[in-house]
């Protein structure tokens, strides 16, 4: 039972990290689960950001970010390269059976942070300010999703469901 609980928590952490990846570029789309292990993470076609897909592919992320930050063509090219690299690394991470869920979560966060740092370096001062605001709003949404009004990330977590 303890293993099942730890597995469920780890799966939740992976799902949250993937939502953060999608929302890190200002996206609001959410998926119900990460793709099955071994699925091509850059697999084009339907799904990646399409109905029921949840995640946006790098090109979709660039377009979303561009519409919010008014990126130049050069910035779009650099952002696409950053998102492509992030997607590749995340796919390799998902397929790595040697790491524990906690190690995967930590590595996933490290990959996202590097992508955000690299992306931020390509932006102008005004774009950086807006990007930082977008990131903060995303964190607030993720941390305060349950309490819709007046929710605070300092609020205690909800009690566990009955029977646990």
- Is 70 among the domain residues? yes
Q: What is the pLDDT of residue 20?
A: 52
- Is 159 among the domain residues? no
- Is 13 among the domain residues? yes
Q: CA-CA distance, 52 to 63, in Å (whole number)?
A: 19
Q: What is the pLDDT of residue 55?
A: 80
Four-residue CA torsion sign, 24, 101, 57, 111: positive
- Is 134 among the domain residues? yes
Candidates 9, 4, 2; CA nearest to 104 is 9
Low-confidence ranges of the chain (pLDDT < 50): 21, 23-52, 146-153
Show the domain range for 115: 2-21+57-138
Total tally of structural domains belonging to the chain: 1
- Is 40 among the domain residues? no
- Is 32 among the domain residues? no
Q: What is the pLDDT of residue 34?
A: 43
7-21 pLDDT, tens per residue? 556 555 555 555 554
Token look-up 């930050």 returns: 69
- Is 16 among the domain residues? yes
Q: What is the pLDDT of residue 112?
A: 94
Q: CA-CA distance, 107 to 34, in Å (whole number)?
A: 16
- Is 48 among the domain residues? no
């Amino acid at each position: 039972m303890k293993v099942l609980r730890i597995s469920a928590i780890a799966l939740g952490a992976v799902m949250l990290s993937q939502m953060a990846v999608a929302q890190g570029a200002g996206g609001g789309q959410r998926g119900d689960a990460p793709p099955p292990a071994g699925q091509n993470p850059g697999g084009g076609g339907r799904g990646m950001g399409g109905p029921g897909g949840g995640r946006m592919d790098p090109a979709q992320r660039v377009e979303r970010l561009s519409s919010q930050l008014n990126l130049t063509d050069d910035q779009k090219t650099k952002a696409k390269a950053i998102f492509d690299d992030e997607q590749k690394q995340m796919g390799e991470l998902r397929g790595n059976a040697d790491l524990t869920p906690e190690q995967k979560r930590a590595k996933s966060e490290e990959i996202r942070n590097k992508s955000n740092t690299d992306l931020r370096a390509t932006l102008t001062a005004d774009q950086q300010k807006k990007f930082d605001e977008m990131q903060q709003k995303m964190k607030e949404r993720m941390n305060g999703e349950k309490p819709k009004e007046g929710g605070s990330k300092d609020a205690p977590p909800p009690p566990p469901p009955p029977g646990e």
